[in-house]
A and B are shown apart, each in its own frame.
Chain A
């Protein structure tokens, strides 16, 4: 099957296979080449370390103290802040909500984004318009999205009116104010807004698939479905991994939309980790505990980052 053959060729054609030219030479210049390669990476690392990792170090330090964020003295408490999290109901609710929310938006945004990236490549009317419009929600500010959502999804809002009009009035309810639907509604709003994000990444990745490979597949009589599963999908593994990490991090950092629509309520039904960090650090003057909570977010992201790097290297090896 030529199709599979092309695929294998494509897969093995990853960069590391650029056989190190130095193999024939002595090892010393190879080391030097690798050290020189470091220079290419250094600006990025310095920039991120200087801003972000300084921030992480600061939070790691503050996280082992009891401090109101203002006073010149901090009381060292070791790992007490981390121990206290186990008994913090709001934290546990936030952790659970963030996990549910994260998994839901990863699954939905990736599948819908990929679906749309394929859809705009079909011979349909309106596909060019769709390509543009799907990105528009991504650029809107959370303030606009949240305000509109509060109005549209309110008890007497446009969505319920529409449901009434098509005879589904029994489903009508205050979507964001009902503790059983609030989190799912936030997922829906997020997916509506950010599917364009994964769409753009998939769009670029699919564009990378060699036109010649596709043509070869078509000449071989591969149908569209077969072309998708045999040629396109395998080339997207790296993009899936990238998007899973990025979407997971976005879920961890979700703040504006939630604080502007539900404020974490009703009850604790939409409490999120960053909301809790904000409340502890700023509103309740527990900067030490807030910093420890922030470290939890970093650690969760670290797990995702390790997985992403490992899996993407597995793919390329």
Chain B
């Protein structure tokens, strides 16, 4: 896009890019600097060796991957049902799902605890996965629905006239078309699940079942905070999410491949 720019507009956009880079990089640099304060890179090695980092990393990975799989499937299916199959109660269910997003976490603590307990899920990874899914599905549904609404209906119609069933259309036609938005849903669901701090603490009793967001707490107590190591821990925690983004943003940019279908 914008392959042909005048010199003036090129200069302006270059200045803006540099400016934006500075605004982002300088504070990030300060975060990195703080994470290296005192013991330098040893802050990082101590985070890795002085805590159950690997164990928590794997726990987080299991929880986040399951959440992403469920949310992406469930949300895209719902978006498909609402947009292309014109499911009844579409507006109502959409409004209900979105409004629920605003319930503050504090207000959810007690009912969630009771629900999870009654389901007999307490202390199993599902105790965390199920609510995480429920909290991320609305986002997925919202952006997924919006994206599918932009896909020409003829594509769906053509596949239908070819005699394909709804499942086949969803898997073979819609999902490939929706790759950019699926990538977006995966990224943000992974982000939410990976950064979740309180739910595992509330719903998993076993301390070895805890997740990676607990790592920084090894360096802070009520009255003492080892800031450089807390920062180092948080930098390490962020890396996997950035990696996921790096891998998937190619998909986001893949763009609309309508031509490829025909």
Q: Which residues of A contact B (CB under 8 A)?
A: 10, 13-21, 33-41, 43-45, 47-59, 69, 115-116, 118-119, 121-127, 129-141, 143-144, 147-148, 151-152, 158, 192, 197, 200-201, 203-212, 214, 218, 224, 227, 235, 238-239, 241-242, 245-246, 249, 252-253, 255, 273-274, 277-278, 281-282, 290-291, 294, 297-302, 304-306, 308-310, 312-313, 316
Residues of A contacting B68 with CB < 8 Å?
A: none
B107 touches A136 (CB 8 A): no
29 sampled A-B residue pairs with Cβ under 8 A: A18-B160, A34-B86, A35-B88, A37-B166, A38-B88, A43-B78, A44-B77, A44-B93, A51-B112, A52-B101, A54-B111, A56-B103, A58-B110, A123-B3, A130-B21, A133-B24, A136-B242, A144-B31, A201-B143, A203-B253, A208-B180, A253-B104, A294-B103, A297-B103, A298-B102, A305-B94, A305-B98, A313-B91, A316-B149
B98 touches A308 (CB 8 A): yes
Instruction: Give the docked Cα–Cα distance between A124 and B234 (Å).
Output: 32
Q: Tell me the nearest residue of chain B to A235, going by C-beta.
A: B150
Residues of B contacting A152 with CB < 8 Å?
A: 27, 30
Q: Tell me the nearest residue of chain B to A127, going by C-beta.
A: B17
A129 touches B21 (CB 8 A): yes
Q: Tell me the nearest residue of chain B to A299, going by C-beta.
A: B99
B146 touches A52 (CB 8 A): no
Residues of B contacting A135 with CB < 8 Å?
A: 242, 245, 249
Q: Which residues of B contact A (CB under 8 A)?
A: 1-5, 9-10, 13-14, 16-18, 20-21, 23-25, 27-28, 30-31, 34, 74-75, 77-78, 80-91, 93-108, 110-112, 115, 130-131, 133-135, 137-139, 141-143, 146-154, 156-157, 160-161, 166, 170, 180-181, 183-184, 187-188, 191, 195, 197, 213, 216, 227, 230-231, 234, 237-238, 241-242, 245-246, 249, 252-256, 258-259
Chain A interface SS verdict (over half): helix
A313 to chain B, nearest CB (A): 7
Residues of A contacting B131 with CB < 8 Å?
A: 51
User: A14 touches which one: B82, B150, B170 (CB < 8 A)?
Assistant: B150
User: A141 touches which one: B4, B138, B237 (CB < 8 A)?
Assistant: B237
Instruction: Give the docked Cα–Cα distance between A312 and B108 (Å).
Output: 29
User: A238 touches which one: B86, B93, B112, B150 (CB < 8 A)?
Assistant: B150
Residues of A contacting B107 with CB < 8 Å?
A: 55, 59, 277, 281, 290-291, 294
Residues of B contacting A306 with CB < 8 Å?
A: 95
Apart from A124-B14, A207-B252, A274-B104: 6 A-B pairs, beta carbons within 8 A? A13-B151, A13-B154, A40-B170, A137-B24, A246-B142, A255-B104
A278 touches B106 (CB 8 A): yes
B16 touches A119 (CB 8 A): yes
Known: A122-B5, A140-B31, A249-B102. A52 touches B195 (CB 8 A): no
A142 to chain B, nearest CB (A): 9
A18 touches B154 (CB 8 A): yes
Residues of B contacting A126 with CB < 8 Å?
A: 17-18, 21
A123 touches B5 (CB 8 A): yes
B27 touches A141 (CB 8 A): no
A140 touches B238 (CB 8 A): yes
B149 touches A148 (CB 8 A): no
Instruction: Give the docked Cα–Cα distance between A130 and B16 (Å).
Output: 11
Residues of B contacting A253 with CB < 8 Å?
A: 102, 104-105
B150 to chain A, nearest CB (A): 6
Q: Tell me the nearest residue of chain A to B96, going by C-beta.
A: A53
B92 to chain A, nearest CB (A): 9
A14 touches B149 (CB 8 A): yes
Known: A55-B111, A200-B187, A274-B104. A192 touches B180 (CB 8 A): no
B95 touches A305 (CB 8 A): yes
B98 touches A245 (CB 8 A): yes
Residues of A contacting B99 with CB < 8 Å?
A: 298-299, 301-302, 304-305
